[in-house]
Structure 1
Amino acid sequence: MKYALRTSCSMVAGVAVIWLSLAVSSGASPAAIASITRPRLLSDVAESTVKSVVNISVQAQSVSAHPLREYFGPRMRPTPRRRRGLGSGVIVSAQGVILTNNHVVRGATKIEVTLHNGVKVQARLVGADPQSDLAVIRLRKPVPDLRVMSFADSDKVRLGQVVLAIGSPFGLSQTVTSGIVSAKSRANVGINDYEDFIQTDAAINPGNSGGALVDLHGRLVGINTAIASRSGGSQGIGFAIPANMAAQVLKGLMSDGKVDRGWLGVAIQQLTSRLAEAFDLTDDTGVLVAQVQPGSPAAQSGLKQGDVITAVDQVKTPTPARLRNVIARRGSKVSVVLSLWRRGKKQEVSVTLGRAPTRSKTAKAHQKLVPKAKVRWGVQVAADERNGALTVMRVVPASPAARAGLQPADVIVSAQGKTVRSAQQFFRIARAVPSGKSLLLRVRNRVMIRYVVLTP
């Protein structure tokens, strides 16, 4: 019996044999033993979960400039173009609710869903969340006996855990590939505003977007979203949105069409060893608060620029992405306790989170600069005569400013913790820095505000 079990469960034989010995020692029946081990069979999981994954075909219309407009002017009107796209989706409700990626259905004028048995059903868009690249659609007519996929707790996913990717790569529906969890909490990929990806080496290709990443219990671990590839096909690096994040987005879009994310109202950056030294900290683990927005929950709770946040409700936040995701998942009107360092001392601050505002475009700054400037620390600066902002004009290659990542058009807000509004004031502070010591600057650009350390 052990031999038969080992051959049919080759990838998880160790787990199956251990469970078998536990069941036998407790006097369990053969039927009970089978009920424990069978969900671990890859073929059982695959054959069951494919019924919960659908193929999504969309038609979208876009407007593009007429190819002859350059030669004949405005009379050559823009031409509408139809776009067709393919993707995947996961059935999450017996009422025909399907979770997919926003980029699969974005701009769609027609959505057609093909179920596992080949039945085609029209669907409509319920809501979309571009910040997480998730969307919810719903079948336009009732379909009996839909197979709903349950959600796993994606926070408990482990490195090396076996997972299956299910979807419709290149339109080939009901395709199953296997792999492992290669990494967790993968951020700064540059795909979405909120990134906390599960990375997997299970083959994911175009058309898999919106499909399911499942564990060996057949539960949804993540929504397959993107790949890192030089060829356009799978190269063993795929990214899935965690099920817990997907569940939050699903709940918000189904209830009021919006996602309720928690919001602090701070600009943050990664704490580095140089920044830790500048702030007299012995540990460089945490997230540095570069700015506190007036009137925000952070401001109302007394959070200050220069604070270093290390945890939220004792959940460690070693990176800005992790902190942002933890806060977002808490939701608005929820009180959390921030663990932080302030001026070398540990503190705890209670904050009642607000609701995250929608994404907005940053207005372009218009500056008229005073032509006269000085060069020091490898940076040339000039004052804005309109608002007194101190703007970086030039950065000397290989200088302390260049090594710190300072760039032209950056605005220096403070130096050594003191607000600066003129070149003279800035260089007076810079000259006072002892030989061999670093200069701490607070800098903003069109995207963010941050601290930088200029080291001689």
Structure 2
Amino acid sequence: MKRYSRTAIFSIFLVSCFVVGRPVVAKDVVPTSQSQMMLSFAPLVKKAVPAVVNIFTKTRVIQTRPSLFDDPFFKRFFGGNFGPQRQRQKIQNSLGSGVLVDGDGVIVTNYHVVNGADEITVALSDRREFDARLIVADERTDLAILKIDVEGERLPYLEFADSDALEIGDLVIAIGNPFGVGQTVTSGIISALDRSAGVANDIQSFIQTDAAINPGNSGGALLTMKGEIAGINSAIFSKSGGSLGIGFAIPANLVKAVLTNGLATGKVVRPWLGATGQEITGDVADGLGLERPGGVLINRVHSFGAAYQAGLRVGDVIVSIDDKEILGPETLTFRVASSMIGETARLGVYRDGERISLEMKLQAAPESPARSIETLTGRHPLSGAVVGNLSPAYALELGLSAFSEGVVVAGTMKGSVAERYGLRQRDILFRVNGQKITNVAQAKEVLESAEGSWQIAIRRNGRTLSFKVSL
């Protein structure tokens, strides 16, 4: 019979432990190498779990209770005026997750977790609960910043990773409160980067992961193997409502930019490029002499924007920002949005067959002209409309193109002439009686000087609508 040395026997034992999946590193010892970390996530989880919180919200909703007299039969024979409809107040509860990013009780979560909530309660991992107040809400990135009062106590928190350093195949773990069952840890890898998640979000550059993410995980942490925040879990792709192995997280660098600007100013003011462009297909790349498709072909440059000041021109192709490749318009938007105002970015530009570099000072969209909000009065079809001057900053705030021109409708007075003619919030008045409208003062003058007849043109959701009114 063949004999084995003690060293050989011990080696065989170690191999068998790996085969059956038994970790050989003590769970109370922090792993010192990647191979050790792969044996158990326990040390990483112990460090991270205290910084991930559960979020519970309450929203009061007024519901109209159905009445027998709403039946079409009664309305037909007895009319529809039976007094005020019966209403009742209902409390809607929802849940989500969040991450402590500062020892003083600053929490990052998703905008959709707390949107419209009347009460926000944060539960720590030790089961203590705190009322939270909303500091910043940013619908465009689906991020929100909360604050809890911990009376001088320092809470555990997590640091941010550099999400630009992430690679497809990196191991990650997700921590959150799926379906309200309690804090749960799942593991996976980074499946893809720069993904469009198909959600209502202006910044379409998500991290995709196969770590199980379910309803309630929103706002929780996607962590690297160093215990740093790779991203904030935001959405899932699912036909059943459960995890199908396709989850999306907002990259840490964008979260950091929103957090920094939000805490400094109380609102999110992000850098504005001041230029728009189109994706470059294979045919376009051939026509421009590019080696392969990629980048953004610039078709509009705003004279108030940072790009114009840096010397960018229509027809240029932006191929990189700070040596990071630009794949298309979504990547360009993300790179600018995740930068900091006041910094200088280096644009890699392809122009007239040559590669050049432009230095661009990052700045916010300007509010020029000032919005000058006021209510129109007088004997004309827009009487009662609340309007303002459009600027790049105001247009972006309203979710409109920063290149929009004219006078925007901020609202209408109840029962006003403008309301009866169907004017809506975000309508853009751009022409009256053949004259181009550029500001509120001009709009008032043209409307009031008309002699009983108005031909009005507005833009609504990208469409042009016109109507004629005679009084």
TM-score by shorter chain over 0.5: yes
What percent of counterpart residues are identical?
Answer: 37
* 1:187 counterpart = 2:186: no
**Partner residue of 2:304?**
295
Q: Is the 8 A contact 1:56 1:114 kept in 2?
A: yes
CA distance in 2, matches of 1:307, 1:202: 40
Q: Which of 70, 83, 91 is the aligned partner of 1:82? A: 91
Determine the C-alpha separation between the residues in 1 that align with 2:15 and 2:103: 36
Matching of residues 51-450 of structure 1 within 5 Å:
51-63=50-62, 72=80, 75-76=84-85, 80-142=89-151, 144=153, 146-187=155-196, 189-279=198-288, 281=290, 283-356=292-365, 357=393, 358-362=396-400
Which segment is superposed worse, 274-283 or 209-218? 274-283
Q: Which amino acid aligns with 1:56?
A: I
Cα distance in structure 2, aligned partners of 1:34 and 1:167: 22
After TM superposition, give the deviation of residue 64 of structure 1 in Å: 5.7
- The answer to whether the 8 A contact 1:268-1:289 is kept is yes
Spell out, residue by residue over 1:170-220, the C-alpha distance to the aligned partner (whole angstroms, 9 max, x if none). 111211111111111213633311132111111110000011111222222
Residues of 2 paired with 1:329 and 1:12: CA distance?
41
Residues 172, 338 of structure 1: CA spacing in aligned structure 2 closer, same or farther, 3 A cutoff?
same
Single out whichever of 235-244 and 328-337 deviates more from structure 2. 328-337
Q: CA deviation at 1:337?
A: 2.5
Amino acid of the residue matched to residue 160 of structure 1? Answer: G
Cα distance in 2 for partners of 1:164, 1:279 equals 43
Secondary structure in 2 matching 1:84: strand
Q: What amino acid sits opposite 2:250 in the alignment?
A: I
Deviation at 1:35, TM superposition (A): 5.5
Where relative contact order (Cα < 8 A, 6+ residues apart) is larger, the structure is 1
1:115: how far off? 1.3
Could you list the per-position Cα deviations for residues 211-269 of structure 1 after superposition, in whole angstroms to 9, with x for gaps in the alignment? 11112222221111110000011000000111221122112222211234221111122
SS in structure 2 at match of 1:331:
coil
CA 1:331–1:149: 2 relative to 1, 3 Å: closer
Consecutive aligned runs of 4 or more in structure 1 exceeding 6 Å deviation: 1-13, 68-71, 365-368
Judged with a 3 Å threshold, the aligned counterparts in structure 2 of structure 1 residues 320 and 198 are, in CA distance, closer, same or farther, namely: same
Moved more, 298-307 or 131-140: 298-307
Give TM-score, length-normalised by structure 1: 0.70
User: Against the structure 1 CA distance between its residues 365 and 126, is the aligned structure 2 distance closer, same or farther, given a 3 Å change threshold?
Assistant: closer
* More displaced stretch, 59-68 vs 216-225: 59-68
How many residue pairs end up in the alignment? 363
Paired residue secondary structure (1:341): strand
- Judge conservation of contact 1:260–1:331 (CA < 8 Å) in 2: no
The answer to whether the Cα contact below 8 Å between 1:124 and 1:140 also exists between their aligned partners in 2 is no
Cα 1:3–1:36 shift into 2, 3 Å: farther
1: CA distance, partners of 2:151 / 2:187:
32
| Distance of 1:272 and 1:364 partners within structure 2 | 34
Secondary structure of 2:397's counterpart equals coil
Q: Can you give the 5+ residue segments of structure 2 that lack an aligned partner in the other structure? A: 1-9, 366-392, 401-425, 437-458, 464-471
Offset at residue 309 of structure 1 (A): 0.8
CA deviation profile, 1:259-300 (whole Å, cap 9, x unmatched): 342211111221112223444555432111121123222223
Q: Over aligned residues, Cα RMSD in angstroms?
A: 3.6
Note the alpha carbon deviations across 1:352-392, whole angstroms, 9 max, x for none. Answer: 22214343244557899xxxxxxxxxxxxxxxx9589xxxx
Secondary structure of 1:354's partner?
coil
**For residues 462 and 329 of structure 2, what CA distance do their matches in structure 1 show?**
15
Cα distance, 1:245–1:290 mapped onto 2, change above 3 Å:
same
Partner SS for 1:330 = coil
- Relative distance call for 1:61 and 1:151 in structure 2 (3 A) is same
Provide the C-alpha distance between the structure 1 equivalents of 2:17 and 2:47, rounded to a whole number of angstroms: 17
Relative to the length of structure 2, the TM-score reads 0.68
Residue aligning to 2:45: 46
2:168 is paired with a residue whose SS is coil
Conservation of the 8 A alpha-carbon contact between 1:89 and 1:212:
yes
